[in-house]
Amino acid sequence: MRHFSGVLNGQPWDGLVVERPEDLGPFRRWVADQAQSGTPVAADTETCGLKIYAWGPGFLRLAQFGTETEAWAIPIEHGPEFVEAAAWALRILPDLTGHNWAGFDALVSDEHLGVPLEETCAKVTDTQILAKLVDPRQQMEGGIGSSLKPLSAHYIDSAAPDTQDGLKSVFKALKLRIAEGFAKIPLDHPTYLEYGLLDVILTSRLRPRLERTLEKLGVPKRLAVYEHRVARICAQMVRAGMVLDEEYTLGLQSDLSYDAERFAEVAAGYGVDSVNSGRQVAAALMGMGETLTEKTASGAWKVDKAVLMALADLDRDWKPIHSRTANPLAEAVLRSKRAGKWRSAYADNFLDNVDAGGRIHPNVQSMQARTFRMSVTNPAVQTLPSSDKMIRRALLADEGHVMISTDFQAVELRVLAALADVKRMKLAIANGEDLHSFTARLVFGEGFTEKDRKVSKGIAFGKVYGGGASTVSRQTGAPIDAVQRAMVKYDQVYPEVGRAAKDWRIEAFNNRMVGISITGHRLPLDRDRSYAITNYLVQSTARDCLGQALIHMDEAGLVPFLRLPIHDEVLASVPKGDAEEVGRAIARCMTFDLKGVQIEATPDIGKRSWGSLYGADY
């Protein structure tokens, strides 16, 4: 047994590190005592990295348990008796505290200790969830942040050590890169152990302080309960993962590499060494006699996709417009950059994250954005190209299954109608009308064109996002004066929207620049961008429609089919024979009333690959 101790915020703490099997006796007695008294115990795991599934055995190195003053570290790496003891502790302790538990440690202990995540998530209070309910912003955005260090500094002791940062300097001293440090640092390294122990002490001390803060702020308890449940459902999706068509992906990888190189060679012929260097591309284009007009924020010539597409005489579908002679360099740069990005960001990432069973497990962060929208990383499967089926074709439903995608119908607009109580919009929704056609008819009259509908759609989003006529004009391609006229008309047709936006801003100002959604989520505003409150409320409420739908699916026993949340859509893998029935059941879970407005969804049943929902034939 090894001892550590210290003082934090004037309060001493003690740490014990189990070294030999005989040390497990005292550990088990300590755990039994905590279980008996019902004291909350924080749990944490130290691993070789973040790839819970792709790493393989030996991934989990250390497990820690601790109260506000006492901590234990168990060297999982040293053998099955240590695995057994840690698993037993997780099972027997009735009240656990974790930090990002469902997002990481629940999956780690599920996969590497054999303790099902359902079992631990049911009794964990997650300090990261609580912290985000206080303030969802990242540090960059002016928030406290949600990792242990800034939270500890804010709530416990401004002198609390930065354990993550401290470890990184140890890695440096050991001549290890950060990525390999967590895997290679000796298990008995004192800094590694001390910081591992401190993490559970800090997490334990954080919990009551966050609970008190939430109470003081009047955040409803049921909101925390709801978010813990959503986080657990997301963890179940991460554990399930998706089948990767490895053979197809390898082919894709080499095809995309070939394209990227082929077009890069064309660009090289015009003096562009790296197509991703905007500076080189701009210089070469101007050398060919092209005139660039737009500049970036920092004053460099802007050569983004829109600029290059115009020079290459291509429309949004990459078809010639015949409005000018196509610039061959612009087209080569576009094609090389696209192929290169699709290979590295998608094909490479798929293969880098595949587990031994041929699956990828994209990581879902269930309350990532400042509006609590979810994000998915490693790989970022929420952002796969949708205009082309080729990338999504690589991801498959399980053997004998098909992919089902079920989307909410115009959910943000319906949420706006519900929150702002927009009478005519609510009526149109109740009558089953197409909302954008309905608006186009009101704004442009009975003889509205498809173009008018597009402008109406642009204005609808512009209103939700807080945009102006120039942005809507740019997005829709409609002339600015037409958009301006239409926006004035829109305000007359739906007067409640502008009025509500004004009220929401005033409410937020009166609440120290924090908007409160109908579910009770706190939405901090930037002082100079208070107009964003409309978007925050709508986006956040739409996100809670997804959360509510996931809970309905949990109640209906549908979670085992779920694979991904994509903002207004869920992707599921369902046995072929049950597709119709399960698709209907999922859509039912996504159908409910929001303040008198029906939220609805439609299932789309595909074949085995995700790409089949975008036109692929497998």
Amino acid code (one letter) for 472 = V
HSE on the CB side for 74, CA within 13 Å? 31
Say which DSSP state 393 is in: G
Q: Tell me how far, at minimum, the Cβ of 539 lies from DNA, in Å.
A: 6
What is d(CA 9, CA 154) in angstroms, rounded to the nearest whole number? Answer: 12
Tokens, residue 562: 């779920």
| Peptide bond before residue 379 is cis, with ω within 30 degrees of 0 | yes
Contact between 3 and 14 (Cβ < 8 Å): yes
- Nearer to DNA (CB atom), residue 528 or residue 593: 528
- Nearer to DNA (CB atom), residue 16 or residue 464: 464
- Nearer to DNA (CB atom), residue 69 or residue 377: 377
Say which DSSP state 383 is in: G
- Nearer to DNA (CB atom), residue 215 or residue 261: 261
Site for DNA in 115-154 (CB under 7 A): 138, 141
How many CB atoms sit inside 10 A of residue 223's CB? 18
| Helix/strand/coil for 12 | strand
- Nearer to DNA (CB atom), residue 69 or residue 471: 471
| Helix/strand/coil for 613 | helix
Phi and psi based region of residue 411 (left: phi greater than 0; alpha: psi -120 to 50; beta: remaining) = alpha
> Is residue 384 part of the contact set for DNA (CB under 7 A)?
yes
Q: Tell which one of 261, 304, 315, 555 touches DNA (CB under 7 A).
A: 304
What is d(CA 69, CA 50) in angstroms, rounded to the nearest whole number? Answer: 28
* Total residues interacting with DNA, rule: CB under 7 A: 69
Q: Tell me how far, at minimum, the Cβ of 618 lies from DNA, in Å.
A: 20
Q: Which residue has the tokens 């929150």?
A: 419
What is d(CA 277, CA 138) in angstroms, rounded to the nearest whole number? Answer: 30
Q: Tell me how far, at minimum, the Cβ of 325 lies from DNA, in Å.
A: 21
- Nearer to DNA (CB atom), residue 189 or residue 302: 302
Q: Tell me how far, at minimum, the Cβ of 310 lies from DNA, in Å.
A: 12
- The piece of 69-77, 115-123, 187-195, 341-349 that touches DNA (CB under 7 A) is 341-349
Where does 288-347 have alpha helices with state H? Answer: 305-311, 328-341
- The piece of 123-131, 156-164, 189-197, 338-346 that touches DNA (CB under 7 A) is 338-346
Q: Tell me how far, at minimum, the Cβ of 505 lies from DNA, in Å.
A: 8
> Is residue 376 part of the contact set for DNA (CB under 7 A)?
yes
Q: How many residues does the chain have?
A: 618
- Nearer to DNA (CB atom), residue 154 or residue 337: 337
| Helix/strand/coil for 78 | helix
What is d(CA 114, CA 243) in angstroms, rounded to the nearest whole number? Answer: 22
> Is residue 291 part of the contact set for DNA (CB under 7 A)?
no
- Nearer to DNA (CB atom), residue 444 or residue 461: 461
Amino acid code (one letter) for 92 = I
Q: Tell which one of 239, 335, 373, 563 touches DNA (CB under 7 A).
A: 373
- Give the chain's largest Cα–Cα span: 84
Phi, psi for 396 (deg, rounded to 5): -120, 155
Contact between 133 and 126 (Cβ < 8 Å): no
- Nearer to DNA (CB atom), residue 147 or residue 277: 277
- Nearer to DNA (CB atom), residue 97 or residue 365: 365
Contact between 167 and 113 (Cβ < 8 Å): no
Q: Tell which one of 88, 465, 509, 592 touches DNA (CB under 7 A).
A: 465
Per-position x/- string for 560-589, each x denoting binding to DNA as judged by CB under 7 A, each - no binding: ------xxxx--------------------
> Is residue 380 part of the contact set for DNA (CB under 7 A)?
yes
> Is residue 277 part of the contact set for DNA (CB under 7 A)?
yes
Q: Tell me how far, at minimum, the Cβ of 345 lies from DNA, in Å.
A: 4
Q: Tell me how far, at minimum, the Cβ of 235 lies from DNA, in Å.
A: 16
HSE on the CB side for 466, CA within 13 Å? 16
Q: Tell me how far, at minimum, the Cβ of 563 lies from DNA, in Å.
A: 15
| Helix/strand/coil for 57 | coil
Per-position x/- string for 532-551, each x denoting binding to DNA as judged by CB under 7 A, each - no binding: x--xx--x------------
Amino acid code (one letter) for 210 = L
| Helix/strand/coil for 537 | helix
| Helix/strand/coil for 15 | strand
> Is residue 387 part of the contact set for DNA (CB under 7 A)?
yes
- Nearer to DNA (CB atom), residue 127 or residue 473: 473
What does the binding site for DNA look like in residue numbers (CB under 7 A)?
138, 141, 274, 276-280, 296-300, 302-306, 308, 334, 337-338, 340-341, 344-345, 348-349, 365, 368-371, 373, 375-380, 382-387, 461-462, 464-471, 475, 528-532, 535-536, 539, 566-569
